[in-house]
Structure formats: C-alpha cells, structure tokens
Chain A
Amino acid sequence: MSAPPAQDNSNEASAGTARSPIPALLVLEDGRSFRGTSFGATGETFGEAVFSTAMTGYQETLTDPSYHRQVLIATAPHIGNTGWNEQDNESRRIWVAGYVVRDPSRMHSSWRASGSLDDELRRQGIVGIADLDTRALTRHIRENGAMRVGLSTIETDPQKLLARVLETQPMLGADLVADVTVASKQIIAAVGTKRFTVAAIDLGIKDMTPTRLAQRGIEVHVLPAASTLDDVTAVSPDGVFFSNGPGDPAAAGRAVDLLTEILDAGLPYFGICFGNQIFGRALGFDTYKLKYGHRGINQPVMDLARGTVEITAQNHGFAVDAPLGQPVTTRWGTARVSHVCLNDDVVEGLELRNASGRLTAFAVQYHPEAAAGPHDADYLFDRFIDVMAGKDA
C-alpha cells in the first residue's frame, strides 16, 4: 500500500516552519468583532454571516449557489482535512462570500483529493479567516440572528470595517437569482432508458439534483431563471422543477409568476428549498426570514403523511408561513403542509392535491439531493416520478 500522492506534497509544506500568519479581522453589523488569521485569499469581503453545523462536506457546501453573498461559519473546528477533489463540486465555482473556520488543515488526506482547500480558496479569491472562536461567533448569531459581516486582511480597525459592513445590502429583500442562474439551457441526459423530461428552473441549482433525476431515467433541461412559460413548454416537459437558490423569496416575484402559470397549465411540479418558498408564495402563503436559519445536515423532518422522521440536509434562511394541520383550498386544489422540522415546527414541505385527491405538485424546504448530507429523503425523487406518471403518490 502506498500513501496517497497528495500526502507527499503536503508533507513538504508541513515540514517547514509554519507560515507566519497574516492577521485578519471579522466585524459583525452589531459591532462585535473577532480577530483571527488569514485563510484562503487575502482581501476584504462582506455578506450575511450564517453558520452551518455540518461536520462533513465543506466542498459541496462552499460550491452550493444558495450560499451566494453569505459568509459561512463552519462550526466543525477542523476544515480542509480531505482537501479538494474533482468530483464533489455542486456547481462551477465557490459561492460563499467568505469563509470562517477555526482550524484549517495544514495538509490533506484523501485518495480522491487533487489539491488543498486553502489553494482552491486562493485560486477562486475567496477570503477566509481562521483561528478565532467560531463557537462564540455562532452563539452570538444564534442569540442575535443572522446579520451582515465583514472580513478583512487589509483593515485592522474594527470601527472602519464596521462602517463598510453597514453600507452593504442586507439579505432581506435581496434578489440574487440572476447572479447564480445558468446563462442558457443545459441538458443532462437520462441514465439508461429515458422515461421523462423535466424542465428544471435554475434558481441556483446544485449539480446533484439533476444527477438524482437523471439516475431515474429523467432527461433534465436546466433553464435560466428568466425563462417564460413558453420556454418551459418548449421542452415538452412531463414535469417542472424549481431549484434551491439564494436570496429572499419575497423578492422573487418573477419566479412566483412563472410557477403560477405552470400550475395553471397543470404541469406536475417538484421544488426544493427556494423552490419550496416560491411554491408557497404561488399557493398564496407568505414567507419570512428565520432568525438564524437552518444550515446543517442533521435536521430532523417529519413526513406528516408517513409519520416517519428523516434526517435532512438544510440550508435556508427563509421559510414558508403556512398553517400546520390545516389544509388550504386553492384554485388548483387543496394545499397542505406535508413536512415539518421537529426542532422548531418550521414548514419543511408543501403539497398540492387536485379535486380527486391526487398529488400534483409538491416541494420541500430541505435538500433530498443531499450533497452534503444524508440520503434519507431520496424517496422524494421517486415521488416526483410517480406524480409525473399519474400514479397516486
């Protein structure tokens, strides 16, 4: 057995004396500041400070477009241990606006790694900060809510950085979909025999979603967020999918309008995360910003129909305000909350049944495609197939 090649490179790095750390500063919009050292690229960055409690999957998380404009705090102290590889990206680039970790790894150990996290952050110009009390920071956000933050390796005066933090746009009301969506249609071929065609509206889609659909014989047409109903019907879809994505759903009126037209057209619908919030708004529910959101891969969700619990990957700062246990009549049929987070009763899924009680459209607030996260909710992709096949689901 030979040691993985990556290890030899990093040994050279670790054999020398540790590089002299560059100081870095983190300032929250309420004035609390933390000092640490530079990690990844140097420079200055701003965004909404949020924390994720996932202990694995930093590569998937960093490349998740839903984290656009957010400065991510990893609660897991050791980050970078398995380096960076060619297989685990969830999109074409790293989206987080900044990265806050406690102990970045000096080297990496994984037979799949092709490089280090630190190098990748530098290559993509992502500013990070390390060696600070991430738990204290996390607790602060838990108690005071997600808020704007600035990271800098240039500015050493917290007051000056704070002034710049306060100039940035807050997440509430932010329409960020245009930043992350594909420029033009992309087709992901079905694996094996093609059974269905799905039009997937890219509001910030993760690669694993079309992969999971394709694995089930679905040809996925990923469409830009600005697509019209005509663009959608042009691919003759058996069903329509709205993806996850960044920003405030209340600012995504266009997507809500499109989904309304799709439901009017009677097309089967499945949505994930942002796609759930858009669905909620289309059904007439409101959405609201959570104090500090749900971000992690250990969130318990109850499937109210089956009465079972699934452990889910979540990444949402907004949620749908819909009544639990009270079906609501819409012009398409009866809508109800299908899934709920057991930690705090936040709506985690919605479903729509037609007059004959058949499921026609549904969405979940969490991530059945996982990546990172557990695969417990994988069955939802099968449910989408059943809906498209006209089966009772």
Chain B
Amino acid sequence: MPRRTDISSIMVIGSGPIVIGQACEFDYSGTQACRVLREEGFRVILVNSNPATIMTDPEYADATYVEPIRPEYLEQIIATERPDALLATLGGQTALNAAMTLFKSGVLERYGVELIGASVDAIEKAENRLEFNQIVTSLKVPGADAGVARSRICQVMDEVLAAAGILGYPIVVRPSFTMGGLGSGIAYNQEELIRIAGAGLSASPVTEVLIEESIIGWKEFELEVMRDGSDNVVIVCSIENLDPMGVHTGDSITVAPAMTLTDREYQAMRDVAIAVTRAVGVETGGCNVQFALNPVDGRLIVVEMNPRVSRSSALASKATGFPIAKIAAKVAVGYTLDEILNDITGETPASFEPSLDYVVVKCPRFAFEKFPTADSTLTTHMKSVGEAMAIGRSFTEALGKALRSLEDPAALFDFTRPIIESVDELLRRIARPHDHRLALIMQALRAGATSAQVVEATRIDPWFVDQLQLIRETADQVCSAPELTGGLMRLSKRHGLSDDQIADLRNLSPDVVRGLRWAFGIRPVYKTVDTCAAEFAARTPYHYSSYDEETEVEPRARPAVIILGSGPNRIGQGIEFDYSCVHAAMALRDAGYETVMVNCNPETVSTDYDTTDRLYFEPLTLEDVLEVVHAELAAGPVAGVLVQLGGQTPLKLAQALKDRGVHIVGTSPEAIHLAEDRGEFGALLSAAGLLSPQHGTAVSAGQALAVAHTIGYPVLVRPSYVLGGRGMEIVYDDASLVSYIQRATEIDPSHPVLVDRFLDDAIEIDIDALFDGTELYIGGVMEHIEEAGIHSGDSACTLPPITLGTETIDQIRSSTEIIAKRIGVKGLINIQYALLGDVLYVLEANPRSSRTVPFVSKATGTPLAKAAARISLGAMIAELRSEGMLRSGGDGATALASAPIAVKEAVLPFNRFRSPEGVGVDPLLGPEMRSTGEVMGLDAAFGPAFAKSQAASFSALPTTGTVFVSVANRDKRHAIFPIKRLADLGFRILATEGTAQVLRRHDVAVTVLRKASQGPGPNGELTVVQAIAAGEIDLVVNTPHGHSLHGSPRQDGWEIRGAAIRAGVPCVTTTQALAACVQGVESLRQGTPGVRSLQSWNAAIQADLP
C-alpha cells in the first residue's frame, strides 16, 4: 500500500524534558519521524517543551510548538493547526498519555483528528495489566507455551499459605487496591510471608492480596517488533539482559543479539511476540515485548509490551542499523515494509530481519554520587540516567568497550587492586544488584569464586559468567607472562582490555603499552554495521572497531572533521551537548567537509548513521579516539578534531590528543587550560581589571581554613575541573569546611580544592558568546531566577534578562570580549557572572559549548553551535553574518520588541530516589547540579512564559487554593509582598509560626500549621507534612533555614520539600522564584496563555532585526 492520501497534516508529540526513564532516545525517534513525514510531503506540527532537542529545530517541522505537553496547550495547538492525524507513538509514555487524555476528553473527536501508529484500543489493551494478561493466556501459538506469572487471590492467611504451597518461594505479595505498591513485598520463606501478607491484608481496603510466583532471577529477553498495515511483521532485534529479572531493563546490562537461546526457544519467543502484537492490535508501527524465561525448564512468561517506540527501540536501531522510528513513521502513514528501502544496503527492502555479525553491549550510567543518601540497589524502578553502547566482534570485546565508554572508573574491571574481602563476603555483595556489580563480580572471580558460585549468587547466566572468567584469565595471562608478546597483546585486545588496563597489569605507562602495541602492528580494524551480516554491501559508513583482520574504512578525498561527542548522558552532561555536536555536523557538511562522528551513546541523534558522513560508534577515551584518528588519516586528509561541543568528555581529551600530534580545531587546549586553571584564570582577570569573588586553593583542611578565614564565610568549595558542579558545596563555618575536605576524594597538589567567597543574594547571569579572534557575538544573556549558589543547570533563567539595565549588559559585553580575547577563544565561550548591587563579578568561564546553547539558539532563532563549528574551522563572524547564519546586525543581546521572553526551567529527579530506609532524598537545590533535563516556556511576557515553564516541568502553578509558607529569617522581608499578593488573589495562606507572625503584621490572614517535628496536635491538627500528603496544599514556599553542622539543611525543611515532591505539589525554595511564581499565577488567572510556533516567533524577529 502506498502512502495515505486522505491525510495531509500530522501532529507529532515529543517526550518533553529528559527525565530518568525517558531521555534523548525520543529526540532521536521524533527527529527521524519528523524528517520522514516532511519528506513524504506531510505538513508536520510538532509539540515538545524541551528546547535541547534536535526535533524542535524549526527546520524539522512546519510548525514547532515549544509548549507544555499538557491538554490545555495541546488543545489550543490542535485548534490552531487543525491536523488530520496525531502520531503519539514516538514520544515515549508522555506522548502516549497525552494522546489518551486528548482522546478521553473528546478533543480528538471534536477536531476530527485521527490517532495513527497505535489505536486507543491497542494502547489500553497493552497498558491494562489484567486485560493484557488475559490476552497472553488466551494466545494460541503452536509449539510455544507462553503465559503470565501464576497467581492466586487470597482473602485470609490460610489461603495465602496454601497458595505459597502451590507457587513456591520466593513469592510476591501485592495487596489489592493500594496506591504506589503500598504493602507489597517479596517473601522468601513462610515467616516473611506471614509478616508481609499479614500487613498486606490489613493495608488492602478489601482485605485481599494477590499472591504471585516470583520470576526474579529468570533470564530476561526483549524482542523489538515492527508491523505494517498489511500485517507483515518482522522482529528487528532480540535483546538479552545480562542482569536477570528483577532489575529494570533500563538499569540492566543488555546484549544484542540474544546469546543463550537455541533456535527453538528463540522462534517460540518470536511467534509469541508476533501473536501478542496482533492480539493487542498494534497495527502500524513498532512495539516491544518483554519475556522472562525459566533457566531450569524453559518456561516462558510474557512480562509486558509497549505499544510504541521505546528506549529499547533506539538501542535496537543503533544495534542493528534498522531505524525503527523512521520505519514506524512510514508504516503509520500507509506504507508496507516491502515498499520501504533499507537505507543501509540501498537495494533490499525493510521487510526483513536484521542479522548481526557482531555483539552489542549496553551498560547503564548511574548518578548515585549526586544523591549520596539514595539506595543504589537496582530494582524494577529505573534509576540510571544514561547509557553507553559498544559494538565488538565478540562479547568480551564489546563489554570492555562499553564499560570504558561509561567514563566511570568504578565501573571498570580492576585487575590489580588487592582483594581484602573474603569470597563469601564478595558473593554476598554481588547478590544485591547495584550500580557497579559487574566490577565486583570480577573481584569475586579474582578472589577465587567459581563460576557456579557467581551464578548461584547473581542468577546471571553461566555463559556470561564464563565470559567474565575468560576476561579474568586473559588479564591473568597478561599479568603473569614473562614478556608482553604480540600474541598476548592481540589476545588481550580481542577480549576488550584497554591499553590502560594492560599498562596497569604490566606496571607500565599506557603510552608505553600503546607504543609497543603499535610496534607489533596491532591496531583495531573498523567493521561496518550493515543490517545483514555482510550478505549485501553497505553504503552507509557506520563503523565499529574490532581487533580483527580486515578494515572497511573507505578512502575519501574531501578533508574530514572528526567531531567528538559527549558519551553517555549523565547529570550535568546530556542531550544539550549532543545537540551542539549534531549542529556542528550539519554546518560542516554544508561547508564542504566530510563529517565524522565519534560517540557511544545509543540514545542520541549524533549516533544516527544519517547525521554525519561517517559514524564511529566508539568509546570516547584517548586510546579509542587516537585509533579513529589514525584510521581516518589513512583514509584521507583530516582538517582536525572538534572537541569544544561535546562537553567535558572531549574537552578532557584535548590536551592529550594534541600532545600526540592530533590537530584540535577551534579554541586550543592551552586556551582551555587557561580558563580552567584557577590561578592562571585569576591572573588573567586581574590583568584585565575584572573582578572575581575572592578565592584560593587548598590541598589540606588547614589550607582551606586559612583561605576561608581570609575571605570570610560563606564560601563555595569544589574540586577543580568539574562539569555539573560535581562535589560543589556552600559552607558556612569551619566544621563544615573540614568535613567537606575529609569527604572529598582525589585531592592532591594537581587537583586542589577551590575555595571561593560565596556571593550571598547576588543575581547570577549566564552568557553564551562566539568569538572569532576579532569579533564578539553574544548569543544570549540569561538571568537566573534563583540567586547565585544554585547550580546554573538547576536554576531557572530568562532570556532576555528581565531585570538588567543597559549599562550592565554593556559591561557584560565588554568583559566577555576581554576574556574571550585573552583566553584565545575560537568558537563558543560560556561565562557566568554574578551581579551584587552594581558590581559585576566573573564566576567562571568555559571556552566551549555550554548546556544553554540549545536554549539560547532556540530562543533567539540563531544556530550558535553551527556558527561555532564554522568559526573553529576558520570562518569569521562577519562571514557568517553575511551568509545569514548569524544576525546581520546586532546580536543575541540586542533588545527586540518582537522577541519572546524565554524561560528555562530545570527538571529534577528527586522522586526517583529513596534512601535504603525508604526515606526520600532532599529535593533542595544547591551548587551541585542534579537536574536531568530542562524545558522552555515562551511568551511575550514573563508571567505566562514562567507559568508555561512550570507547567512543562511537572509543577504547574495553581490559580486558586492554599499556599503554605515557611521562609528563613533573611528571606522574610522579600516574601511579604508576593505572599500578600497571593492572599489578595484569594489564596488561603498557611505558615509556620515565625513566618505567620511577620505576615500578620502585614495584614495577611494566615493560619499556623504545625511543623513536622512538633507532631500532630492534640485535636488531630495536621503537621505541614501531613497536610501536603493529604492534598490540602497547592503551593509550598519554603526557603532553607540556615544550615546544620554538616552544611545540610535542617530536618523540617527537608521533610516539607520531600513531601511536596512526593505529592507533586510545586515547591518554591527561593524568594526570587516566589516572585516569579506570583507573576505566573497572575497570568494564569487571565486564562491559559496562548500558543505560538517557533516559526512564527522567528519570522517576527527577522522582521524586527536592525
């Protein structure tokens, strides 16, 4: 069937901000979908609140709405654009839920919008547990006996015990009709069962529990399915989880293709997956089906299915070369799979199943270091913030590459660390799934644990455990051989050992190992991901390295630019940097260069084989990058390596690459060092007559105290060379400072701790600018809504700055120019300033792409990263102005009446984490970045723009109701006016005693609420925490009250904010944000703000340019 002609416009919903469990894989899928739909001639209307996405670049849709993905905004967009169809299967659960809401409220019907991709019925069937289980059990698949976990419903303990007798231990207890899994648990024996089921029965309002067999420890698999309108179904990829059932797939190490299935088991799974897809009714598009398989007898259980493109789809696309989202979009508009060409071969159709002649390993990236109190045990609740994928010709090779792609030293196999723990102790510890378990398993094997013991403790399949043994044996050989021979070197490389690991084992330096390896002529070759195991020639150079014999890198004539990506998503380094890398690729390709991407993050647009001329799916380590450079130099001329757009990952490699003769384009490594080195940068500032907060460096507690006493508390302390404020804290006294130094690791003379005077109450300003050696172009000036001290990545900000005067902007411009010139920037620079009174301080300068580049680019309609890439390769700003890439006159700091106010708001993952005791982690903002993503609110005025940013970041402002206020003494003065305004608007005001007293003096009617520490009152009066949990409060205003001994906020505040996060109540923690809130509330009371597309805003800006 050809493309449908009865629809001409399609609305696509994105997935909104990056959150744990929903990251940039949906930008990758959405970007592909938008591109395909436009190529097919559809008018595409896109909605996504996340500005750091490629999909929201105006060229990917006819109308791009960076608006909250909420019904009231979506309906307005539908009313304005009148799309014929809605495609919601490419924007994750967010888009699917939004579509269901629009369907249920009748909006789709009212405007005649057809849901394409998956029907409402299919979505409901897949999402409704009971209905889905019924579908699975009624499937008739010859030769494949798949079911669901066995269970019994019990009302009394005798029934529970009888059920346990049938189902066997361990056993899962799920009380009926309780919220959020309350009262559920796993019992391993009768004693536990009586306790858990007893509690469960009493927790259940109907005194009923579901007793279910546990499938924890079973083998876990996933199949990616694609179906078209003619009922052609293909399996794109099989994925096997190394971590067995019990750990969320997103947190598991996963392997493609499945490694431990015979054809019979695989085909049974395939038959069931296809039958499930048909029975649920996913008619056109992709879905995935998850399986659990009992390793003892092969019993197969269908765990769940997602009737949409998922995280696994992105992984499967990158793992196979089969672009699931792209194909899903094509079949959604009517094509059948046989009508779609396989891009990679260019001659065979998409109606086939990819065959792999390599192994793909994905490892999750965690961020528990950001949440020290959080429980790092991995469960069915996803906790990882990103992932790295690697491809090798064997599992061991791929695993080694995947682990080093994580850039997490604790994840790596350490073959030399003395083992002090006993085997029993190690076995006990590896039984708990946690973030660095694989490294610990290696320790257990090194300590002498047998494969069987490890299998018993972890339930990891024996085949995988044997592969770990193989790696251990290889390392042992490297360690104990009298001489590091070529044969041994080759063997160790084939099993994934890095030069660093070999160096460690042989007590040599990595450079010596590398030199030796090269002298032996042992270098990786580059193979191609071709979807078909070499059956057909591939025309897309999508490469991965392997220590094999024949390379497939083709010679080329044009000069290449090698762009280093940003690796796995993590807090502080996410999609924003991928955005810049993708833009660089586009700009440089347009400028006539051959573009080469190196990256290892399967979620991203940068690792789409369509993005650059060549893609190397490789770890971003010195070793791996040097090899890619070597391979590309052999293929043709290389103009250089671009490091300034991928964040800290490539930046950290810059000097080492240069030292080894690699040409770095743009800002030089020396210039980068100048900006990063506190001493040198301080000297630069003083020489230029610019102010910075007083500061010093220290390598000991004594030195730190001395610095603090000189400059006075509070001080900001942090390690040098950080991104995302890792380990950064504000400390107020000697005790907390000493405590910080004691807790800080890796302090030595080359990595001192930086101690800065903390500017209390200052306004923080962020700028992104371009400099070409002579001319400065300010991309944008952002004013933070929170005061200095909140990490810029976590702080809301506005562009243009809403309270800064022209003089300040002028001062920022001249300061920026001086700094850029003195550092020697060629490309982008990000500078953070603090304005205290009228005095401008320079906080830091980063001569690279920043997190805010996509936001600024989108808010001003100027592609800063593209311009930076061009400047890096020698273009001048004047040239880019005349090309139309940059504004012909003025720049991003030029005030334009027609430009929108853009508000960026951060999205924080606090609700994902609990301490081992089950207590939530404190959702307080500080100098260490903790947000996973961001949204943008756009409007003509600040109030509605702010309101939109809050709505998009899951904390929609109320327009009526009850406000609870508890502010620190220093904040009381600033809180009076906004709270009084809220009261005037009709809000009921509740407060703690101290805050209430002040408010009463200002004639605000206020009710006193008990603190959590006071406990409920004698007549049952609720504490604030209870009131929040009970849903009685619509807005929480709570600024931290000073600090405790260890620099942590006081318990009461913590509990209030924690309760707000759990209840989903917006929580304001600074007075500046409170003022912004009030403006937002006022605008919302005029009705939902209107919507406007980026294209429309940009047209207005263009018309308004000087």
- Report whether A107 and B463 are in contact in the complex, using a CB–CB cutoff of 8 Å: yes
Question: 8 Å CB contacts to A: which residues of B782-823?
Answer: none
Beyond A76-B257, A81-B260, A107-B463: 11 further Cβ-contacts under 8 Å?
A: A3-B462, A15-B451, A54-B355, A75-B534, A76-B533, A78-B359, A110-B260, A133-B549, A134-B357, A311-B352, A375-B143
Interface assignment of A2: CB less than 8 Å from any CB of chain B:
yes
Q: How far is the CB of A382 from chain B (nearest CB, A)?
A: 12
- Report whether A308 and B550 are in contact in the complex, using a CB–CB cutoff of 8 Å: no
8 Å CB contact of A77 from B264, B296, B349, B359: B359
Question: 8 Å CB contacts to A: which residues of B552-593?
Answer: 552
Interface assignment of B1092: CB less than 8 Å from any CB of chain A:
no
- Report whether B355 and A7 are in contact in the complex, using a CB–CB cutoff of 8 Å: no
- Report whether B353 and A311 are in contact in the complex, using a CB–CB cutoff of 8 Å: yes
CB-defined contacts of B347 to chain A, threshold 8 Å: 343
Q: How far is the CB of B466 from chain A (nearest CB, A)?
A: 5
Question: 8 Å CB contacts to B: which residues of A101-140?
Answer: 102-103, 105-112, 132-136, 138-139
Interface assignment of B761: CB less than 8 Å from any CB of chain A:
no
CB-defined contacts of A305 to chain B, threshold 8 Å: none
Measured between alpha carbons, how far is A281 from B537 in the docked complex, in Å? 32
- Report whether B295 and A4 are in contact in the complex, using a CB–CB cutoff of 8 Å: yes
Chain A residue with the shortest CB-CB distance to B262: A82
CB-defined contacts of A308 to chain B, threshold 8 Å: 230-232
Measured between alpha carbons, how far is A375 from B275 in the docked complex, in Å? 12
Q: How far is the CB of A10 from chain B (nearest CB, A)?
A: 7
Measured between alpha carbons, how far is A85 from B548 in the docked complex, in Å? 31
A-B contact pairs, 7 of them (CB 8 A): A53-B355, A54-B263, A55-B356, A82-B262, A102-B393, A300-B352, A307-B230
Chain B residue with the shortest CB-CB distance to A76: B357
- Report whether B537 and A109 are in contact in the complex, using a CB–CB cutoff of 8 Å: no
8 Å CB contact of B352 from A108, A298, A372: A298
Measured between alpha carbons, how far is A2 from B217 in the docked complex, in Å? 11
- Report whether A342 and B352 are in contact in the complex, using a CB–CB cutoff of 8 Å: yes
- Report whether A138 and B357 are in contact in the complex, using a CB–CB cutoff of 8 Å: yes
CB-defined contacts of B260 to chain A, threshold 8 Å: 81-82, 109-110
Report if A56-B261 is in contact (Cβ < 8 Å); known contacts: A75-B355, A81-B463: yes
Encode B288-306 as 1/0 by CB contact (under 8 A) with A: 0000001111100000000
Interface assignment of A31: CB less than 8 Å from any CB of chain B:
no
Measured between alpha carbons, how far is A351 from B60 in the docked complex, in Å? 48
Measured between alpha carbons, how far is A309 from B532 in the docked complex, in Å? 18
- Report whether A14 and B469 are in contact in the complex, using a CB–CB cutoff of 8 Å: yes
- Report whether A53 and B262 are in contact in the complex, using a CB–CB cutoff of 8 Å: no
Question: 8 Å CB contacts to A: which residues of B266-307?
Answer: 266-267, 270-271, 294-298
Measured between alpha carbons, how far is A107 from B143 in the docked complex, in Å? 28
- Report whether B550 and A3 are in contact in the complex, using a CB–CB cutoff of 8 Å: no
- Report whether B534 and A138 are in contact in the complex, using a CB–CB cutoff of 8 Å: yes
- Report whether B263 and A373 are in contact in the complex, using a CB–CB cutoff of 8 Å: yes
Encode A361-387 as 1/0 by CB contact (under 8 A) with B: 000000000111111001000000000
Encode A1-37 as 1/0 by CB contact (under 8 A) with B: 1111001101100110110000000000000001000
Encode A135-155 as 1/0 by CB contact (under 8 A) with B: 110110010000000000000
Question: 8 Å CB contacts to A: which residues of B453-478?
Answer: 455-456, 459, 461-463, 466, 469-470, 473
- Report whether A373 and B466 are in contact in the complex, using a CB–CB cutoff of 8 Å: no
Q: How far is the CB of A332 from chain B (nearest CB, A)?
A: 31
Q: How far is the CB of A8 from chain B (nearest CB, A)?
A: 6
Measured between alpha carbons, how far is A55 from B237 in the docked complex, in Å? 11
8 Å CB contact of B452 from A8, A60, A110: A8
- Report whether A309 and B351 are in contact in the complex, using a CB–CB cutoff of 8 Å: yes
Measured between alpha carbons, how far is A56 from B261 in the docked complex, in Å? 7
- Report whether B462 and A7 are in contact in the complex, using a CB–CB cutoff of 8 Å: yes
Chain A residue with the shortest CB-CB distance to B532: A53
Report if A15-B450 is in contact (Cβ < 8 Å); known contacts: A106-B470, A112-B262, A112-B298: yes
CB-defined contacts of A57 to chain B, threshold 8 Å: 262-263, 266
8 Å CB contact of A75 from B267, B296, B357: B357
CB-defined contacts of B459 to chain A, threshold 8 Å: 1
Chain A count of residues within 8 A CB distance of the other chain: 68
Measured between alpha carbons, how far is A17 from B548 in the docked complex, in Å? 23
CB-defined contacts of A275 to chain B, threshold 8 Å: none
Measured between alpha carbons, how far is A75 from B527 in the docked complex, in Å? 13
- Report whether B338 and A309 are in contact in the complex, using a CB–CB cutoff of 8 Å: yes
CB-defined contacts of B338 to chain A, threshold 8 Å: 300, 302, 309, 342
Measured between alpha carbons, how far is A374 from B142 in the docked complex, in Å? 13
Report if A135-B296 is in contact (Cβ < 8 Å); known contacts: A1-B217, A53-B533, A300-B338: no
Measured between alpha carbons, how far is A374 from B238 in the docked complex, in Å? 14
CB-defined contacts of A8 to chain B, threshold 8 Å: 452
8 Å CB contact of B355 from A81, A139, A296, A370: A296
- Report whether B262 and A374 are in contact in the complex, using a CB–CB cutoff of 8 Å: no
- Report whether B263 and A371 are in contact in the complex, using a CB–CB cutoff of 8 Å: yes
CB-defined contacts of B455 to chain A, threshold 8 Å: 3, 7
Interface assignment of B259: CB less than 8 Å from any CB of chain A:
yes
Question: 8 Å CB contacts to A: which residues of B755-800?
Answer: none
- Report whether B348 and A342 are in contact in the complex, using a CB–CB cutoff of 8 Å: yes
Measured between alpha carbons, how far is A344 from B230 in the docked complex, in Å? 21
Interface assignment of B83: CB less than 8 Å from any CB of chain A:
no
Encode A58-82 as 1/0 by CB contact (under 8 A) with B: 0110000000000000011110011
Q: How far is the CB of B217 from chain A (nearest CB, A)?
A: 6
- Report whether A107 and B267 are in contact in the complex, using a CB–CB cutoff of 8 Å: no
Interface assignment of B696: CB less than 8 Å from any CB of chain A:
no
CB-defined contacts of B473 to chain A, threshold 8 Å: 17-18
Q: How far is the CB of B903 from chain A (nearest CB, A)?
A: 50
CB-defined contacts of B524 to chain A, threshold 8 Å: none
CB-defined contacts of A307 to chain B, threshold 8 Å: 230
CB-defined contacts of A42 to chain B, threshold 8 Å: none
8 Å CB contact of A88 from B262, B270, B394: B262
CB-defined contacts of B294 to chain A, threshold 8 Å: 1
- Report whether B550 and A135 are in contact in the complex, using a CB–CB cutoff of 8 Å: yes
Encode B141-152 as 1/0 by CB contact (under 8 A) with A: 011000000000
CB-defined contacts of B349 to chain A, threshold 8 Å: 300, 342-343
8 Å CB contact of A82 from B261, B466, B548: B261
Q: How far is the CB of A120 from chain B (nearest CB, A)?
A: 14
Encode A227-262 as 1/0 by CB contact (under 8 A) with B: 000000000000000000000000000000000000
Report if A81-B352 is in contact (Cβ < 8 Å); known contacts: A7-B455, A108-B463, A139-B534: no
CB-defined contacts of A81 to chain B, threshold 8 Å: 259-260, 463
- Report whether A105 and B463 are in contact in the complex, using a CB–CB cutoff of 8 Å: yes
Measured between alpha carbons, how far is A344 from B461 in the docked complex, in Å? 39
- Report whether A14 and B355 are in contact in the complex, using a CB–CB cutoff of 8 Å: no
CB-defined contacts of B537 to chain A, threshold 8 Å: 142
- Report whether A14 and B357 are in contact in the complex, using a CB–CB cutoff of 8 Å: no
Q: How far is the CB of B644 from chain A (nearest CB, A)?
A: 36
Q: How far is the CB of A211 from chain B (nearest CB, A)?
A: 10
- Report whether A55 and B527 are in contact in the complex, using a CB–CB cutoff of 8 Å: no
Interface assignment of B731: CB less than 8 Å from any CB of chain A:
no
8 Å CB contact of B296 from A4, A87, A136: A4
Measured between alpha carbons, how far is A259 from B395 in the docked complex, in Å? 49
CB-defined contacts of A45 to chain B, threshold 8 Å: none
Interface assignment of B358: CB less than 8 Å from any CB of chain A:
yes
CB-defined contacts of B527 to chain A, threshold 8 Å: 135
Q: Which 7 A-B pairs have the closest CB atoms?
A: A57-B263, A136-B550, A133-B549, A372-B263, A75-B533, A53-B533, A298-B353
CB-defined contacts of A342 to chain B, threshold 8 Å: 338, 348-349, 351-352
CB-defined contacts of A142 to chain B, threshold 8 Å: 534-537
- Report whether B550 and A299 are in contact in the complex, using a CB–CB cutoff of 8 Å: no
CB-defined contacts of B295 to chain A, threshold 8 Å: 1, 3-4, 109, 111
CB-defined contacts of A134 to chain B, threshold 8 Å: 357
CB-defined contacts of B470 to chain A, threshold 8 Å: 14, 106
Q: How far is the CB of A279 from chain B (nearest CB, A)?
A: 25
Report if A373-B267 is in contact (Cβ < 8 Å); known contacts: A111-B297, A342-B338: yes
